[in-house]
Amino acid sequence: MSTSPPAKTTYPLFRTLWQIIWRTLVLAVIFLVVFIATYIHSGPKINLADYRKTQAQATYLYAQDKGGKEIPIARLHGEENREWASLNQIPVPLQNAFISLEDKRFYDHHGADWIRTIAALVKYRGSQGGSTISQQLVKNLTARNQSTASRKLQEILLALNLENNYSKDQILEAYLNTIPLGYSCYGVKTAAARYFDKPLSKLTPAECASLASITKAPATYNPIQHPEKNRIRRNECLASMRKNQMLSEQDYQAAILEPVQTADISVDTHKRYDAFGKVNNYFVDTVIDSVIHDFMTHYHLSKVEATRRIYNGGLRIYTTEDPDIQASLEHVYENRINFPKKKVSDKSIQSACTIMNYDGEIVATVGGAGKKKVNRGLNRATQAVRSPGSAIKPLSVYSPAIEKGIIKSPDTKLRNYALTVNGKKWPQNFNGSFGSPGSYVTTQYALAQSLNTTAARLARKLTTKYCLQFLQTHFHLSTLVTSGHPSDNTLSAMAVGGMTKGVNTQDMCAAYCTFGNNGKYISPHCYTRVTSYNGKHVYLENKSDSEQAISKHTAHMMNKMLQTVVTQGTGKGCGVKGFNTYMKTGTTSDVKDKWACGGTPYYCAVVWLGYDQQATIPSPRNGQNPAAIIFATVMNSIHKNLPHRGF
């Protein structure tokens, strides 16, 4: 009987695959070990010397006075707020208090406490816990504090590298000078002054433990706002110090019984030690936000790192502010001069204003009415985005219509009759009419009277897509919604300003400058350069982009037509005395936003007015747009002593 030959076994194939996989894994492990060893033993990834150099230096903002002299307008942090203390100036009990609470084996490990790390891996799956003082220093200096396992691994590697390049004393000194302790205090020296109104050398052991107790959560454990929570954690700290032989039994008993007295939380004390004690104006806020953005963009910094560089970097920031114009604008806004008096639901009306010259420089800005109470709060000039109403028409339909030759002169006739949209007539004009089939008006009249019907017909003829692209590419409005649903690719958005999000005063001011600047668009900027304290290094330089957004012919025609708005149109009586003034007002269909955008041969200004929580704006008895009234109040004030000039 014949038998078939035995089938060939496949085990050698599996064995070969397994050998390949095993060797690959071994090589990967070797590569990883070599990489980690090289990383740890390479040069410092974090330069502590750089941080120390910048900690004790104030950043100054400058503006030019009328004589061209640079004068300081703001001082950020510096010695009083981020003053560095060398380790021999920091009392040993204070050092021990932080070590006892945060890292008992600080002097025994090499950057990572593996006992605590393994415990944290088991308990929290590596997302939190177990951080040594070296790891916390890494977090404080890099802002890499997301709760993820990968972040934890990177943090450990940086801490190991840190300890390989610096001594324990250097690391502890940097940690105690950079740790956030609430009330804008970074470091123990400013915290001692803020909480106890004392120099470091005068702190008692109980006060040392009190400061160390804040670290866990400054908002929860600071001794001024939460004395009882701080006391409980303070006693835990003192007990730990005694257990670790950092405090004698006698000193421990005295510290436990000591009634810790915090400093008076008065305005004066707050101003002396709080980085934000002095409330800066909205212009300074705008500059800070702009420089932070540019540091993030040009140097790929996190927001926290960019902010730290400004407040602690000893920088010199040269701004475009005109101090006199800023003061005039603030006077009008703080005192609500010529503002509507009526309140809605006990809320006063709000407003924002941006003023620019024709070099793209923001010379003044205010982001709210009334006395400014906080630093870097809501800045409505840049952060509040609201529908512009008819103020969008010169940008979205009239300028492109002139550019395309649809409008050839101010006398070009436009049909004053509503469209049929979804079987209904749309839109209505300000007086509630839809116009009529045989009604034709001049372009100048349609613009001065802000007719919605003519704007809607122009938008449809141009197409809303073209209008939207024109706004985006020619006038660079940054808050347009160009895709998705809903978007601004609609007749409502392009013809009457009913936008998905809206616009802000800064973008609108830059766009309207083109009508007084021969059609040139210059990107708005609030500073010219940022340098080191001695000027040797220029970190940022603002060279604004300039482009011909619209032709000179279009700009001149728009300028002339918009001048009729203040002589016979919706902004009648709100021009600047003694100067030709172009303007366009805007009102949303629900009367919840009012705008006035325009300029003189000297300056362009944009005013928005409304409520933070939208509500109908009361109309003045004379029927004028209240935003136009504020425009006139501000612009007349800053033009008082200026010589006559034409466009």
161 touches 45 (CB < 8 A): yes
DSSP 153-186: HHHHHHHHHHHHHS-HHHHHHHHHHH-B-STT-B
638: β partners: none
Report CA-CA distances (Å) from 441 to 105, 436, 451: 85, 11, 10
- What pLDDT was estimated at residue 117? 64
At residue 473, what is the residue type?
T
Which ranges constitute the DSSP H helices of 278-398? Answer: 282-299, 303-312, 323-334, 393
Render pLDDT for 398-407 as a digit per residue (tens, 0 to 9): 999 999 999 9
27 versus 266: the higher-pLDDT residue is: 27
Terminus-to-terminus CA distance in the chain, angstroms? 115
Render pLDDT for 554-593 as a digit per residue (tens, 0 to 9): 999 999 999 999 999 999 999 999 999 999 999 998 889 9
pLDDT at residue 222 is higher than 50: yes
Q: Model confidence at 273, in pLDDT bands (50, 70, 90)?
A: very low
- What pLDDT was estimated at residue 362? 97
- What pLDDT was estimated at residue 219? 86
- What pLDDT was estimated at residue 382? 95
Render pLDDT for 425-437 as a digit per residue (tens, 0 to 9): 999 998 889 999 9
- Tell me how far apart the alpha carbons of residues 316 and 305 are, in angstroms, rounded to a whole number: 17
- What pLDDT was estimated at residue 267? 37
Render pLDDT for 503-540 as a digit per residue (tens, 0 to 9): 999 999 999 999 999 999 999 999 999 999 889 999 99
Nearest to 626 by CA among 640, 607, 613, 606: 607
- Tell me how far apart the alpha carbons of residues 324 and 576 are, in angstroms, rounded to a whole number: 18
- Token pair 């870097």 in the structure block, residue: 376
- Asked if residue 427 has a cis previous peptide bond (ω within 30° of 0), the answer is yes
pLDDT at residue 269 is higher than 50: no
- What pLDDT was estimated at residue 275? 37
Taking each continuous run of H as one helix and of E as one strand, the counts in the chain are 25, 16
Q: Model confidence at 553, in pLDDT bands (50, 70, 90)?
A: very high
Query: Which pair of tokens denotes residue 113?
Result: 């406490």
- What pLDDT was estimated at residue 40? 62
Tell me 347's DSSP state: B
Q: Is 530 in a helix, a strand, or coil?
A: strand
Average pLDDT over all residues of the chain: 87
Nearest to 105 by CA among 244, 300, 5, 204: 244
pTM (predicted TM-score): 0.68
- What pLDDT was estimated at residue 79? 39
Residue percentage of the chain with pLDDT more than 90? 63
The angle formed by the CA atoms of residues 373, 594 and 489, to the nearest 5 degrees, is 110
Report CA-CA distances (Å) from 476 to 8, 236, 283, 497, 504: 73, 58, 22, 16, 12
Give me the count of residues in the chain. 647
- What pLDDT was estimated at residue 265? 53
Q: Model confidence at 294, in pLDDT bands (50, 70, 90)?
A: very high
Q: Model confidence at 176, in pLDDT bands (50, 70, 90)?
A: very high
pLDDT at residue 480 is higher than 70: yes
Nearest to 70 by CA among 408, 317, 427, 239: 317
Render pLDDT for 100-152 as a digit per residue (tens, 0 to 9): 999 998 998 887 776 666 665 555 554 445 689 988 888 888 765 555 566 77
Query: Which pair of tokens denotes residue 552?
Result: 């000179």
| Contacts with 126 (C-beta within 8 Å, 6 or more apart), sequence order | 120, 149, 152, 153
231 touches 257 (CB < 8 A): no
- What pLDDT was estimated at residue 42? 67
- What pLDDT was estimated at residue 48? 85
pLDDT at residue 32 is higher than 60: no
- What pLDDT was estimated at residue 545? 80
